[in-house]
Amino acid sequence: MTGAGLTALLSHWRRNPWQLLTLVTGLALATALWSGVQAINAEARASYAAASDTLGAGDLSRLTRRDGQALTVAEYVSLRRNGWLVSPVMEGELRTPGGVVLLTGIDPLTFPTPAGAGPSATGPMQNLLLDDGPVLFAHPDDVPLLTGFDTDVRPDDRRPRGQAMADIALADRLLQGDGQLRYLVVAPAQPPQTVPLPDVYTISEPLAQTDVSRLTRSFHVNLTAFGMLSFAVGIFIVYGAVGLAFEQRRPVFRTLRALGLPLTRLMALLAVELTFFALVAGALGVTLGYLIAAALLPDVAATLRGLYGAEVTGQLQLRPVWWLSGLGMAFGGTAIAAGSALIKLARMPLLSFNHPRAMSLHAGNAGRWMLLLALVLFGTGALISQVGEGLFAGFGLLACLLTGAALCLPWVLAVCLSLAGRISRGPVSEWFWADSRQQLPGLSMALMALLLAMAANIGVSTMVSSFRLTFTGYLDQRLSSELYLRVSSAEQAAEIEQFLVAWSVAVLPIVSVDLREGGLPAELFGLRDHATYRDNWPLLSAVDGVWDRLAAGQGALINEQLARRQNLSPGDTLGTGDVVLGVYSDYGNPAGQIIISEQQFGARYPGLSPRQFGLRTETPDELARTLRNTFELPADALINQRDLKDFSLSVFERTFSVTAALNLLTLSVAGLAILISLLTLATMRLPQLAPVWALGLTRRRLARLELLRAVCLAALTGLLAVPLGLGLAWVLLAVVNVEAFGWRLPMFLFPWDMLQLGVLTMLAAFLAALWPAIRLARTPPQMLLKVFSNER
Amino acid sequence: MKDNSAGYVMRTLAICCVCLGMTAPASAQGFAGLGADAEGFSHPARDLPIVFPRDHGPHPDFRIEWWYLTANLKDADGIAYGLQWTLFRSALEPGDAPGWTSPQVWMGHAAVTTADAHYVAERLARGGIGQAGAIAAPFTAWIDDWEMTATGDGIADLNLRARGADFGYDMALSAGGPLVLQGDAGYSVKSASGRASYYYSQPFYAIRGTLQLPDRDVDVSGTAWLDREWASQPLGETQISWDWFSMVFDDGARMMGFTLHDSEAGDFTAATWITPEGEATPFPDGAFVSEPLETAMVAGRSVPVVWRARLPDKGVDVTVRALNPQAWMDTLVSYWEGPVTITGSHTGQGYLEMTGY
């Protein structure tokens, strides 16, 4: 009996291969989107973990000279001899025939080790310990570059590309004296000091945690949220397909039960069947996810590098964590999608008829519960926006908003449809609205998916477009000089400055030093007082007479990131002792920035002379050529503002290409959901259409009405998606963005884009409805007649 | 987080050792590599005697060397303390060079021991940059802010200080007797096959100063013993551990004795009897006998902490008991080092060092 039952159940799929295809496709797509996103996240996290493992110097406080100069060996020894447990870190560029490698030399003898690290840790390293001779550690890809240095080069994939590490003696030898002790790392546990730290030095706090993963966490939460959204939309498809299959097989179930197959056995068989599909679709999905991830990863890697300076390898590895999670999601998703169908089956009386009206009434009951739940969700969202803080609050708000709106949808649509029914005249149109309302419960899942997909589309595209507009304008302001020049020495700088006098070119020196403000990296700039800045600098808030006060050395400007991070506003005092005079926007930069006047900078760092200059000129190309020829400058010494802008914009475009791709996928999935729902309904609706047909409406007209209905419902949903999408955009721009990137963006509206999306959605709905409508138009009259003779 | 830090320690140590070409702490090269091959290095010779003050300073052509000071101290209430200040020099290659490329590696160990606590600190440094080193005259030896510096000629009067995370000390020493050349005029044989080191001591220091302990500063005074030793390959490849005793008897006499354990050739012992006036008598292999009486579990090892030590030629038959059995030096190369009390045919105090456990 079991075998026969299973054969009977499976025969359905043989007769309906398209349905099988949609079920498997839906599940596979959902799994693919989810596991693709997970794969990207897992890869990036593995990269960060490797990066933060490499030296660990980021976890340690650093001692630097206040004037920004490198330390001498004598200074280092003097600090040691005064009891300070510091360790030198030498850095320098190692020129190889194949390119420049940043070489870091550490002193393993004094490099701080965590407390309690006894010699017991050496055991498994015996084979390494017995080696002798100096060793250079480099990324495997860089090993060939370094073979010409007469030293043992070890591949070490924890090294970032382009960076090598060695013992300080070897580094000193290889760098031929060019290596500098830019900082000393400070051991966390210092003996009680008897000698205070000389005033020329300053100790900066360690980076708060591994700062790369901290900075990029938001980006990944972002991606994960999109992955979840895609998955949710995919599950709607599965829900539809499973619902359809159950609905169509009711007679089979009944027959099987009547023949004596116990309910539990039937349920078990169905569960086995679904598990099998989940397994197949899950495997397909994971494979597809791998392909998606492989396609998107280079962009993600570029984004992470451009935005946060985080190094992520562009190559994808098969990591069990994400393919297991992908399969898990496939099973879980199937269970969720099939759960209600199985429960319905369990409750189904053995000899029940199909009563769509009763189902609709039942759905109305469920609709009230959904509405209540939606209200609770909206309340929670409001509470979160008031009380919550941080990225998770932002996403919590988003989740409440989106889920709440989706749950409201059937009720809102029902109200709209009954309103339309009330104002419509004539039997056909009244029937049309009433029938639409009746159809609503069956379509609501698909429409919810559509609502979510459209809202996400509107929200994200509004954010991206707002960002693009703001960012382009900002670049125009910030990159106000036509040419940017980098020189190799102070002498060359003076020579070129002298030369430029004749060209009557305004020269704006750019001089900066790295420091830490509040434990996080920041840059301090010295700014020459010039109209270029006064006219163009994008200030968000400032005290009165900000530029005069800055020029007079009365304070500093800071970027928005720093202001938000440290909760600073004009009038507050920085760790450097400067008063904040103003805050400017600084998109695309993860680090904090502080700007003081050129004079103040010179007084604070007398040894630092500017090596970069902005040049204001009417004829950038000509000037660049002349400078290059006159001073034999290398190719990268002069950068045209246009190129810089293009580069910045490309970093930005890549940031959102991933989002755009996911967005498009989500929308297509929603379209598929509508198609499947309509297919499901088509078979169920025959008993309702038959009387209308019998009353004289032609099949063609009925089919046209079906199409009209689909477009109407899509249009209504689309209309509702607009405010929801804008709400989503607002949360993204004003809450999530601030948390993720450290800046807030003004919101712009793009009605034309929304209109396009609306048309596109209706087109999708039309196309989705086309096939069921054509089928209806071609339904043989005898099928319709059968409804009267044989109520299934 | 935990995995990360463990990986990090492993890596740092590995890099440390790989970069510097350090040998394994315990291998087939004697304890701490003291039996390792020493090609290119100088070796002790009987016909090249020790010369002062030159030999208070470093000998970069020899592979290893140490300035090893231990002290038995008491405070005003009669509570006993032990103190250790050691500077090791280890050369990766013979000779020296200025700057980072110096092949000389320096290692400092400092400890203070009470009956129930043992404070340890360790410092590492490379030569060539001035972070650590030693100068013969005027004598000074240092690593970071730890130093042992003469206040007069030679090494008769010293200032001594060191500091760890939770302890420190500032001491002044003054020698009440002459320097003692160990073995044959400073040529100290370490194995039956004739391996040897240069070895002299100053066992007559009176020491006074302040110990900084986590909860208090204590003024203390007592006796101290300085050992100076340098060699290139003092141990045979199969000499895997040793027990070394320094004893200061209440009657003013001193005695040094050690047993070197060989995994193949059996034990090798040596001793020096020093009269209160500083006349030294060396004793050959077999004259000195040490046997463990009781062991304690220390740092996961079974370590003898009560010994019977005999030098029948001088009528010495004593029980040597650790003040604090847990005096384990949990350093890069780990060993047991701590103050002892002596009872039996003679009474007094001293220091015990045990390696290879």
Cα B69 from Cα B201, distance rounded (Å): 9
Distance, first Cα to last Cα, chain B: 32
From A89-93, A309-313, B136-140, B246-250, the region with the lowest mean pLDDT? A309-313
Closest to B19 (Cβ–Cβ): which among A110, A118, A135? A135
Residue A109 at interface with chain B, using a CB cutoff of 8 Å: yes
Predicted pLDDT of residue A205: 63
Cα B298 from Cα B306, distance rounded (Å): 13
Q: Residues 6 or more apart from B305 whose CB is under 8 A from it?
A: B294, B295, B296, B298, B321, B322, B325
B139: confidence class by pLDDT, cuts 50, 70, 90: very high
ipTM of the complex: 0.88
Q: Region A584-595: what's the mean pLDDT? A: 76
Q: Residues 6 or more apart from B357 whose CB is under 8 A from it?
A: B241, B298, B301, B302, B303, B335, B336
Element (H, E) at A275: helix A263-308
Taking the alpha carbons of A458, A461, A464, A470 in that order, is the dihedral positive or negative?
Answer: negative
The residues facing B221 across adjacent strands are B74, B208
The residues facing B108 across adjacent strands are B87, B123
Burial class (CB within 10 angstroms; exposed 0-12, middle 13-18, buried 19+) of A578 = buried
> Cβ A77–B142 below 8 Å, yes or no?
no
- The pLDDT tens digits of the residues spanning A624-663 come to 888 888 887 766 677 777 776 776 666 566 656 666 666 6
Closest to A128 (Cβ–Cβ): which among B14, B20, B131? B14
Predicted pLDDT of residue A732: 76
Q: Residues 6 or more apart from B265 whose CB is under 8 A from it?
A: B191, B192, B193, B236, B238
Closest CA to A198 of A76, A106, A110, A88: A76
Cα A297 from Cα A658, distance rounded (Å): 9
3-state SS string over A445-477? HHHHHHHHHHHHHHHHHHHHHHHHHHHHHHHHH
Closest to B13 (Cβ–Cβ): which among A73, A74, A125? A125
Alpha-carbon distance A108 to nearest alpha carbon in chain B (angstroms): 5
Question: Which amino acid, one-letter code, is at B57?
Answer: G
Cα A344 from Cα A713, distance rounded (Å): 27
Distance, first Cα to last Cα, chain A: 25
Q: Residue A727 — φ and ψ, nearest 5°?
A: -60, -45
Q: How many residues does chain B have?
A: 357
Closest to A125 (Cβ–Cβ): which among B10, B19, B124? B10
Residue A575 at interface with chain B, using a CB cutoff of 8 Å: no
Predicted pLDDT of residue B289: 95
Cα A63 to Cα A101, A197, A370, B305: the distances in Å are 24, 10, 60, 44
Residue A118 pLDDT greater than 60, yes or no = no
CA angle, A514 then A518 then A521, to 5°: 30
Q: Between A and B, how many CB-CB pairs are < 8 A?
A: 137
Residue pair A776/A710 in contact by the 8 Å Cβ criterion:
no
A131: confidence class by pLDDT, cuts 50, 70, 90: very low
Q: Which two tokens stand for residue A208?
A: 């708060």
Residue B5 at interface with chain A, using a CB cutoff of 8 Å: yes
Which residue of chain B comes nearest to A152, CA vs CA? B19
- The pLDDT tens digits of the residues spanning B79-88 come to 999 999 999 9
> Cβ B142–A173 below 8 Å, yes or no?
no
3-state helix vs strand vs coil in chain A, percent to 5: 65, 15, 20
Contacts of residue A135 in chain B, CB cutoff 8 Å? 15, 18-19
Closest to A134 (Cβ–Cβ): which among B19, B24, B165? B19
Residue pair B292/B304 in contact by the 8 Å Cβ criterion:
yes
| Dihedral Cα A729, A733, A736, A738, nearest 10 deg | 180
- Other CB atoms within 10 A of residue A355 CB: 12
> Among residues 124-183 of chain B, which lie with CB inside 8 Å of chain A?
124-126, 129-131, 142, 144-145, 163-165, 168
Predicted pLDDT of residue B178: 94
Question: Which amino acid, one-letter code, is at A79?
Answer: L
From A23-32, A70-79, A352-361, the region with the lowest mean pLDDT? A352-361
Residue A351 at interface with chain B, using a CB cutoff of 8 Å: no
Question: Which amino acid, one-letter code, is at A454?
Answer: M
A747: confidence class by pLDDT, cuts 50, 70, 90: confident
B35: confidence class by pLDDT, cuts 50, 70, 90: low
Residue A177 at interface with chain B, using a CB cutoff of 8 Å: no
> Among residues 51-110 of chain B, which lie with CB inside 8 Å of chain A?
99-102, 105
Contacts of residue B27 in chain A, CB cutoff 8 Å? 130
Contacts of residue B87 in chain A, CB cutoff 8 Å? none
- SS3 category, A690: helix
Closest to B14 (Cβ–Cβ): which among A125, A134, A166? A125
Q: Residues 6 or more apart from A128 whose CB is under 8 A from it?
A: B14, B17, B18
Cα A30 from Cα A33, distance rounded (Å): 5
Residue A176 at interface with chain B, using a CB cutoff of 8 Å: no
Cα A278 from Cα B145, distance rounded (Å): 69
- SS3 category, B214: coil
A694: confidence class by pLDDT, cuts 50, 70, 90: confident
Burial class (CB within 10 angstroms; exposed 0-12, middle 13-18, buried 19+) of A751 = exposed
Ordered by where they begin, the domains of chain B are 6-354 (2.40.370.10)
- The pLDDT tens digits of the residues spanning A39-56 come to 877 777 776 665 554 444
A482: confidence class by pLDDT, cuts 50, 70, 90: confident
The residues facing B319 across adjacent strands are B308, B343
Q: Residues 6 or more apart from A107 whose CB is under 8 A from it?
A: A87, A88, A167, A168, B126
Contacts of residue A131 in chain B, CB cutoff 8 Å? 18, 21
Residue pair A743/A737 in contact by the 8 Å Cβ criterion:
yes
Cα B223 to Cα A494, A662, B74, B147, B278: the distances in Å are 67, 79, 9, 19, 15
Question: Which amino acid, one-letter code, is at A467?
Answer: F
Radius of gyration (C-alpha) of chain A in whole angstroms = 33
pLDDT averaged over chain A?
Answer: 77
Residue pair B324/B117 in contact by the 8 Å Cβ criterion:
yes
